[in-house]
Chain A
Protein backbone atom coordinates (compact mmCIF):
# COMPACT_ATOMS: atom_id res chain seq x y z
CA UNK A 1 0.00 0.00 0.00
CA UNK A 2 1.32 3.37 -0.91
CA UNK A 3 1.59 5.57 2.10
CA UNK A 4 1.18 9.19 1.34
CA UNK A 5 -0.01 12.33 3.09
CA UNK A 6 -1.48 13.50 -0.20
CA UNK A 7 -4.06 10.70 -0.24
CA UNK A 8 -5.22 11.17 3.33
CA UNK A 9 -8.68 12.66 3.47
CA UNK A 10 -8.70 15.31 6.17
CA UNK A 11 -12.37 15.96 5.51
CA UNK A 12 -13.44 12.54 6.72
CA UNK A 13 -13.63 10.82 10.08
CA UNK A 14 -11.13 8.01 10.55
CA UNK A 15 -10.52 4.94 12.67
CA UNK A 16 -7.70 4.76 15.17
CA UNK A 17 -5.68 2.52 12.84
CA UNK A 18 -5.96 5.04 10.02
CA UNK A 19 -4.95 7.89 12.30
CA UNK A 20 -2.03 6.00 13.83
CA UNK A 21 -0.84 5.00 10.33
CA UNK A 22 -1.15 8.59 9.20
CA UNK A 23 0.97 9.73 12.14
CA UNK A 24 3.78 7.47 10.94
CA UNK A 25 3.53 8.95 7.47
CA UNK A 26 3.63 12.46 8.88
CA UNK A 27 6.73 11.59 10.88
CA UNK A 28 8.35 9.99 7.81
CA UNK A 29 7.61 13.08 5.76
CA UNK A 30 9.07 15.48 8.35
CA UNK A 31 11.90 13.57 10.00
CA UNK A 32 13.70 16.71 11.11
CA UNK A 33 10.65 18.21 12.72
CA UNK A 34 8.36 15.50 14.04
CA UNK A 35 8.84 12.39 16.10
CA UNK A 36 6.36 10.04 17.71
CA UNK A 37 6.59 9.31 21.42
CA UNK A 38 4.73 6.61 23.30
CA UNK A 39 3.90 8.11 26.69
CA UNK A 40 2.11 5.06 28.04
CA UNK A 41 -0.65 2.61 27.34
CA UNK A 42 -4.38 2.77 27.78
CA UNK A 43 -6.42 0.48 30.02
CA UNK A 44 -6.85 -1.91 27.08
CA UNK A 45 -3.14 -1.62 26.28
CA UNK A 46 -3.35 0.63 23.29
CA UNK A 47 -0.42 2.97 22.77
CA UNK A 48 -0.80 6.55 23.90
CA UNK A 49 1.05 8.42 21.20
CA UNK A 50 2.23 12.01 21.24
CA UNK A 51 3.62 13.81 18.23
CA UNK A 52 6.61 15.92 19.16
CA UNK A 53 7.29 18.94 16.99
CA UNK A 54 10.80 20.14 17.66
CA UNK A 55 13.58 21.87 15.78
CA UNK A 56 16.17 20.87 18.32
CA UNK A 57 17.46 22.06 21.64
CA UNK A 58 17.15 20.41 24.96
CA UNK A 59 14.05 20.50 27.13
CA UNK A 60 12.80 23.64 25.45
CA UNK A 61 9.69 25.35 26.78
CA UNK A 62 6.75 23.46 25.39
CA UNK A 63 3.09 23.62 24.46
CA UNK A 64 0.87 20.61 25.10
CA UNK A 65 -2.20 19.99 22.93
CA UNK A 66 -4.68 17.15 23.27
CA UNK A 67 -7.83 16.16 21.45
CA UNK A 68 -10.40 13.47 22.00
CA UNK A 69 -10.24 12.88 25.73
CA UNK A 70 -14.01 12.46 25.49
CA UNK A 71 -14.07 9.85 22.79
CA UNK A 72 -17.43 10.67 21.21
CA UNK A 73 -16.31 14.21 20.36
CA UNK A 74 -15.08 13.10 16.94
CA UNK A 75 -14.69 16.60 15.60
CA UNK A 76 -11.82 17.04 18.04
CA UNK A 77 -9.69 14.09 16.91
CA UNK A 78 -10.36 15.12 13.30
CA UNK A 79 -9.35 18.69 14.13
CA UNK A 80 -6.25 17.30 15.82
CA UNK A 81 -5.19 15.49 12.66
CA UNK A 82 -5.73 18.57 10.51
CA UNK A 83 -3.93 20.80 13.00
CA UNK A 84 -0.89 18.55 13.34
CA UNK A 85 -0.59 18.53 9.57
CA UNK A 86 -0.99 22.30 9.51
CA UNK A 87 1.82 22.80 12.00
CA UNK A 88 4.07 20.59 9.87
CA UNK A 89 3.13 22.40 6.66
CA UNK A 90 3.49 25.87 8.08
CA UNK A 91 6.88 25.48 9.68
CA UNK A 92 9.27 27.42 7.47
CA UNK A 93 6.34 29.11 5.71
CA UNK A 94 4.30 30.93 8.30
CA UNK A 95 6.40 33.33 10.39
CA UNK A 96 4.43 32.69 13.59
CA UNK A 97 4.63 28.91 13.42
CA UNK A 98 8.28 29.15 12.47
CA UNK A 99 9.06 31.49 15.36
CA UNK A 100 7.23 29.24 17.82
CA UNK A 101 9.03 26.10 16.72
CA UNK A 102 12.39 27.82 16.53
CA UNK A 103 12.30 28.26 20.28
CA UNK A 104 9.62 25.96 21.65
CA UNK A 105 8.44 22.38 21.24
CA UNK A 106 4.87 21.30 20.66
CA UNK A 107 3.53 18.01 21.98
CA UNK A 108 0.28 16.84 20.46
CA UNK A 109 -1.79 13.90 21.70
CA UNK A 110 -4.40 13.43 19.01
CA UNK A 111 -6.22 10.46 20.51
CA UNK A 112 -6.17 11.02 24.25
CA UNK A 113 -8.68 8.25 24.97
CA UNK A 114 -7.96 5.47 22.48
CA UNK A 115 -10.08 2.75 24.12
CA UNK A 116 -13.09 5.01 24.16
CA UNK A 117 -12.41 6.06 20.58
CA UNK A 118 -12.28 2.45 19.37
CA UNK A 119 -15.48 1.75 21.30
CA UNK A 120 -17.21 4.62 19.52
CA UNK A 121 -16.33 3.01 16.21
CA UNK A 122 -17.26 -0.55 17.12
CA UNK A 123 -20.00 -0.58 19.74
CA UNK A 124 -21.37 2.72 20.93
CA UNK A 125 -20.84 5.86 18.90
CA UNK A 126 -21.83 7.99 21.86
CA UNK A 127 -19.34 6.64 24.40
CA UNK A 128 -17.58 9.37 26.40
CA UNK A 129 -15.49 7.73 29.12
CA UNK A 130 -12.48 5.46 29.35
CA UNK A 131 -13.08 1.69 29.27
CA UNK A 132 -11.69 0.68 32.65
CA UNK A 133 -13.59 -1.82 34.77
CA UNK A 134 -15.00 -0.43 38.01
CA UNK A 135 -14.70 -2.80 40.95
CA UNK A 136 -18.09 -3.68 42.39
CA UNK A 137 -20.05 -2.25 39.47
CA UNK A 138 -21.28 -3.51 36.13
CA UNK A 139 -20.76 -0.06 34.69
CA UNK A 140 -17.60 0.65 32.74
CA UNK A 141 -15.39 3.66 32.48
CA UNK A 142 -14.33 6.88 34.13
CA UNK A 143 -14.77 10.41 32.86
CA UNK A 144 -11.16 11.33 32.13
CA UNK A 145 -11.96 15.01 32.47
CA UNK A 146 -13.04 14.58 36.08
CA UNK A 147 -10.12 12.37 37.09
CA UNK A 148 -7.36 14.96 37.56
CA UNK A 149 -6.03 15.96 40.92
CA UNK A 150 -7.52 19.44 41.01
CA UNK A 151 -10.42 19.73 43.39
CA UNK A 152 -10.95 16.03 42.71
CA UNK A 153 -14.17 14.57 44.03
CA UNK A 154 -16.51 17.52 44.30
CA UNK A 155 -19.01 19.44 42.22
CA UNK A 156 -19.81 18.58 38.64
CA UNK A 157 -18.53 15.05 38.98
CA UNK A 158 -20.14 11.86 40.19
CA UNK A 159 -19.18 8.98 42.46
CA UNK A 160 -21.55 6.69 40.58
CA UNK A 161 -19.66 4.44 38.14
CA UNK A 162 -22.75 4.37 35.94
CA UNK A 163 -22.66 8.12 35.44
CA UNK A 164 -21.01 9.71 32.42
CA UNK A 165 -19.40 12.09 34.91
CA UNK A 166 -17.91 9.33 37.09
CA UNK A 167 -14.69 10.71 38.53
CA UNK A 168 -13.06 7.35 39.23
CA UNK A 169 -11.93 5.83 42.52
CA UNK A 170 -9.07 8.28 43.02
CA UNK A 171 -7.29 11.07 41.16
CA UNK A 172 -5.20 9.83 38.21
CA UNK A 173 -6.69 6.36 38.49
CA UNK A 174 -6.98 6.29 34.70
CA UNK A 175 -3.87 5.28 32.81
CA UNK A 176 -4.75 7.74 30.07
CA UNK A 177 -4.68 10.57 32.60
CA UNK A 178 -1.70 9.35 34.61
CA UNK A 179 0.42 9.07 31.45
CA UNK A 180 -0.15 12.74 30.66
CA UNK A 181 0.47 13.77 34.28
CA UNK A 182 3.75 11.86 34.34
CA UNK A 183 4.78 13.23 30.98
CA UNK A 184 4.09 16.88 31.79
CA UNK A 185 5.62 16.67 35.25
CA UNK A 186 8.60 14.73 33.91
CA UNK A 187 9.13 17.33 31.22
CA UNK A 188 9.01 20.18 33.70
CA UNK A 189 9.01 22.99 31.16
CA UNK A 190 5.49 22.93 29.73
CA UNK A 191 4.18 26.48 29.47
CA UNK A 192 0.78 25.91 27.95
CA UNK A 193 -1.81 23.13 28.02
CA UNK A 194 -4.64 23.28 25.53
CA UNK A 195 -7.24 20.55 25.81
CA UNK A 196 -9.77 20.38 23.01
CA UNK A 197 -13.38 19.28 23.46
CA UNK A 198 -16.68 19.78 21.67
CA UNK A 199 -19.33 21.15 21.42
CA UNK A 200 -20.88 24.49 22.44
CA UNK A 201 -18.35 26.98 21.14
CA UNK A 202 -16.43 28.14 24.16
CA UNK A 203 -12.87 28.95 25.12
CA UNK A 204 -12.40 28.35 28.82
CA UNK A 205 -9.68 28.63 31.41
CA UNK A 206 -9.25 27.92 35.15
CA UNK A 207 -10.89 27.56 37.44
CA UNK A 208 -13.55 24.91 37.14
CA UNK A 209 -13.44 23.62 40.67
CA UNK A 210 -13.92 26.98 42.33
CA UNK A 211 -15.58 30.23 41.47
CA UNK A 212 -12.75 32.49 42.57
CA UNK A 213 -10.58 33.91 39.80
CA UNK A 214 -7.24 32.41 38.86
CA UNK A 215 -4.22 34.55 39.71
CA UNK A 216 -3.77 35.33 36.01
CA UNK A 217 -7.45 35.74 35.27
CA UNK A 218 -7.13 39.08 33.55
CA UNK A 219 -4.38 37.98 31.19
CA UNK A 220 -6.12 34.71 30.36
CA UNK A 221 -9.38 36.53 29.81
CA UNK A 222 -7.80 39.07 27.46
CA UNK A 223 -6.08 36.34 25.52
CA UNK A 224 -9.30 34.32 25.25
CA UNK A 225 -11.14 37.41 24.06
CA UNK A 226 -8.62 37.98 21.28
CA UNK A 227 -8.58 34.31 20.32
CA UNK A 228 -12.35 34.02 19.96
CA UNK A 229 -12.50 37.28 18.04
CA UNK A 230 -9.94 36.01 15.55
CA UNK A 231 -11.67 32.65 15.34
CA UNK A 232 -14.95 34.36 14.51
CA UNK A 233 -13.32 36.39 11.76
CA UNK A 234 -13.25 33.35 9.48
CA UNK A 235 -16.85 32.10 9.41
CA UNK A 236 -18.55 34.22 12.06
CA UNK A 237 -18.67 31.36 14.55
CA UNK A 238 -19.44 32.89 17.91
CA UNK A 239 -17.61 31.64 20.97
CA UNK A 240 -18.12 32.60 24.57
CA UNK A 241 -15.17 32.65 26.93
CA UNK A 242 -14.28 32.84 30.59
CA UNK A 243 -13.49 30.61 33.51
CA UNK A 244 -15.07 27.16 33.46
CA UNK A 245 -16.94 27.74 36.72
CA UNK A 246 -18.41 31.04 35.67
CA UNK A 247 -19.08 30.21 32.03
CA UNK A 248 -20.55 26.73 32.38
CA UNK A 249 -20.59 25.29 35.88
CA UNK A 250 -18.45 24.10 38.73
CA UNK A 251 -16.55 21.04 37.49
CA UNK A 252 -13.93 19.32 39.58
CA UNK A 253 -10.95 17.30 38.45
CA UNK A 254 -10.44 18.81 35.00
CA UNK A 255 -7.30 18.80 32.86
CA UNK A 256 -6.73 22.53 32.71
CA UNK A 257 -7.27 23.12 36.42
CA UNK A 258 -4.68 20.46 37.15
CA UNK A 259 -2.28 22.04 34.65
CA UNK A 260 -2.77 25.52 36.08
CA UNK A 261 -2.36 24.33 39.67
CA UNK A 262 0.86 22.66 38.57
CA UNK A 263 2.38 25.84 37.23
CA UNK A 264 1.18 25.91 33.63
CA UNK A 265 -0.09 29.44 33.31
CA UNK A 266 -1.58 29.27 29.83
CA UNK A 267 -4.13 26.51 30.38
CA UNK A 268 -7.14 26.55 28.12
CA UNK A 269 -9.87 24.23 27.02
CA UNK A 270 -11.87 24.59 23.85
CA UNK A 271 -15.40 23.50 23.12
CA UNK A 272 -15.47 23.43 19.32
CA UNK A 273 -18.46 23.87 17.03
CA UNK A 274 -21.49 23.37 16.73
CA UNK A 275 -24.39 25.62 17.44
CA UNK A 276 -26.53 22.67 18.41
CA UNK A 277 -27.91 21.12 15.26
CA UNK A 278 -25.83 18.00 15.40
CA UNK A 279 -24.13 17.77 18.78
CA UNK A 280 -21.56 15.02 18.75
CA UNK A 281 -22.62 13.99 15.25
CA UNK A 282 -21.20 16.95 13.40
CA UNK A 283 -21.11 16.08 9.68
CA UNK A 284 -17.66 15.46 8.26
CA UNK A 285 -18.15 18.35 5.84
CA UNK A 286 -17.61 20.59 8.86
CA UNK A 287 -14.23 19.15 9.88
CA UNK A 288 -12.11 21.47 7.79
CA UNK A 289 -14.11 24.63 8.52
CA UNK A 290 -13.98 23.78 12.23
CA UNK A 291 -10.26 23.06 12.19
CA UNK A 292 -9.51 26.12 10.07
CA UNK A 293 -11.26 28.56 12.37
CA UNK A 294 -9.87 26.86 15.49
CA UNK A 295 -6.37 27.21 14.10
CA UNK A 296 -6.61 31.00 14.28
CA UNK A 297 -7.40 30.89 17.99
CA UNK A 298 -4.79 28.24 18.68
CA UNK A 299 -2.16 30.29 16.93
CA UNK A 300 -3.09 33.36 19.00
CA UNK A 301 -2.56 31.40 22.19
CA UNK A 302 0.68 29.80 21.02
CA UNK A 303 2.12 33.13 19.86
CA UNK A 304 1.16 34.72 23.17
CA UNK A 305 2.95 31.90 25.01
CA UNK A 306 6.02 32.49 22.88
CA UNK A 307 5.99 36.22 23.45
CA UNK A 308 5.32 36.08 27.18
CA UNK A 309 7.88 33.75 28.69
CA UNK A 310 7.69 33.12 32.40
Chain B
Protein backbone atom coordinates (compact mmCIF):
# COMPACT_ATOMS: atom_id res chain seq x y z
CA UNK B 1 0.00 0.00 0.00
CA UNK B 2 1.31 3.40 -0.90
CA UNK B 3 1.45 5.82 2.00
CA UNK B 4 1.46 9.60 1.79
CA UNK B 5 2.93 10.48 5.17
CA UNK B 6 3.98 14.12 5.32
CA UNK B 7 2.85 14.85 1.76
CA UNK B 8 1.21 18.23 1.44
CA UNK B 9 -1.20 19.72 -1.06
CA UNK B 10 -0.36 23.31 -1.89
CA UNK B 11 -2.84 25.75 -3.31
CA UNK B 12 -0.90 27.91 -5.70
CA UNK B 13 -2.08 31.19 -7.15
CA UNK B 14 -0.19 32.20 -10.23
CA UNK B 15 -0.06 35.92 -10.94
CA UNK B 16 0.32 35.73 -14.71
CA UNK B 17 1.02 33.45 -17.66
CA UNK B 18 4.74 33.51 -16.93
CA UNK B 19 4.17 31.98 -13.50
CA UNK B 20 1.83 29.41 -15.00
CA UNK B 21 4.57 28.40 -17.41
CA UNK B 22 6.93 28.05 -14.45
CA UNK B 23 4.45 25.80 -12.67
CA UNK B 24 4.24 23.60 -15.74
CA UNK B 25 8.02 23.31 -15.69
CA UNK B 26 7.80 22.32 -12.04
CA UNK B 27 5.27 19.64 -12.92
CA UNK B 28 7.57 18.19 -15.53
CA UNK B 29 10.48 17.69 -13.14
CA UNK B 30 10.13 13.94 -12.75
CA UNK B 31 12.49 13.72 -9.77
CA UNK B 32 10.10 15.76 -7.63
CA UNK B 33 7.16 13.39 -8.27
CA UNK B 34 4.61 16.13 -7.80
CA UNK B 35 1.00 15.55 -8.76
CA UNK B 36 -1.23 18.38 -9.93
CA UNK B 37 -4.71 17.78 -8.51
CA UNK B 38 -5.86 20.92 -10.27
CA UNK B 39 -3.66 21.94 -13.13
CA UNK B 40 -2.22 25.40 -13.56
CA UNK B 41 -4.40 26.87 -16.27
CA UNK B 42 -4.96 30.59 -15.91
CA UNK B 43 -4.39 33.24 -13.26
CA UNK B 44 -8.13 33.03 -12.45
CA UNK B 45 -7.91 29.41 -11.34
CA UNK B 46 -5.64 28.36 -8.51
CA UNK B 47 -3.67 25.16 -8.96
CA UNK B 48 -3.51 22.44 -6.33
CA UNK B 49 -0.30 20.46 -6.15
CA UNK B 50 0.40 17.36 -4.06
CA UNK B 51 4.02 17.38 -3.06
CA UNK B 52 5.68 14.28 -1.59
CA UNK B 53 7.40 14.98 1.71
CA UNK B 54 10.95 14.56 0.34
CA UNK B 55 10.26 17.21 -2.33
CA UNK B 56 8.63 19.78 -0.07
CA UNK B 57 11.74 21.86 0.49
CA UNK B 58 12.69 21.97 -3.17
CA UNK B 59 9.18 22.86 -4.28
CA UNK B 60 8.69 25.59 -1.71
CA UNK B 61 12.07 27.10 -2.53
CA UNK B 62 11.14 27.03 -6.21
CA UNK B 63 7.84 28.79 -5.55
CA UNK B 64 9.31 31.37 -3.22
CA UNK B 65 12.28 32.12 -5.42
CA UNK B 66 9.89 32.90 -8.26
CA UNK B 67 7.54 34.89 -6.00
CA UNK B 68 4.68 32.51 -6.69
CA UNK B 69 2.20 32.69 -3.83
CA UNK B 70 0.84 29.55 -2.23
CA UNK B 71 -0.86 28.28 0.87
CA UNK B 72 -1.00 24.84 2.40
CA UNK B 73 -4.34 23.26 1.55
CA UNK B 74 -3.70 19.85 3.14
CA UNK B 75 -1.01 19.62 5.83
CA UNK B 76 -0.62 15.86 5.80
CA UNK B 77 -2.36 13.80 3.16
CA UNK B 78 -1.94 10.56 5.09
CA UNK B 79 -3.74 12.00 8.09
CA UNK B 80 -6.81 12.61 5.90
CA UNK B 81 -6.51 9.16 4.36
CA UNK B 82 -6.38 7.56 7.81
CA UNK B 83 -9.44 9.53 8.80
CA UNK B 84 -11.25 8.41 5.65
CA UNK B 85 -10.36 4.78 6.30
CA UNK B 86 -11.51 5.04 9.91
CA UNK B 87 -14.84 6.48 8.82
CA UNK B 88 -15.36 3.70 6.31
CA UNK B 89 -14.62 1.00 8.87
CA UNK B 90 -16.93 2.60 11.38
CA UNK B 91 -19.71 2.93 8.85
CA UNK B 92 -19.33 -0.67 7.74
CA UNK B 93 -19.54 -1.90 11.32
Contacts and interface: CB of A to CB of B under 8 A. Distances in A.
B35 A164 contact: yes
Contacts, number: 66
A249 B24 CA distance: 13
A280 B36 CA distance: 12
Contacts of A126: 2, 4, 35, 50, 77
Contacts of A164: 35-36
Contacts of A123: 1-2
Nearest to B1: A123
A254 to B, nearest CB: 14
Contacts of B80: 278, 281
A83 to B, nearest CB: 19
A195 to B, nearest CB: 18
B41 A249 contact: yes
Nearest to B83: A283
Contacts of A279: 9, 37-38, 48, 50, 73-74
Interface in A120-135: 122-126
A276 B50 contact: no
A283 B91 CA distance: 13
Interface in B37-57: 37-39, 41-42, 45-46, 48, 50
12 contacts: A12-B91, A14-B88, A124-B2, A126-B2, A126-B4, A126-B77, A279-B50, A279-B74, A281-B77, A281-B80, A283-B87, A284-B88
Interface of B: 1-2, 4, 9, 11, 30, 35-39, 41-42, 45-46, 48, 50, 73-74, 77, 80-81, 83-84, 87-88, 91-92
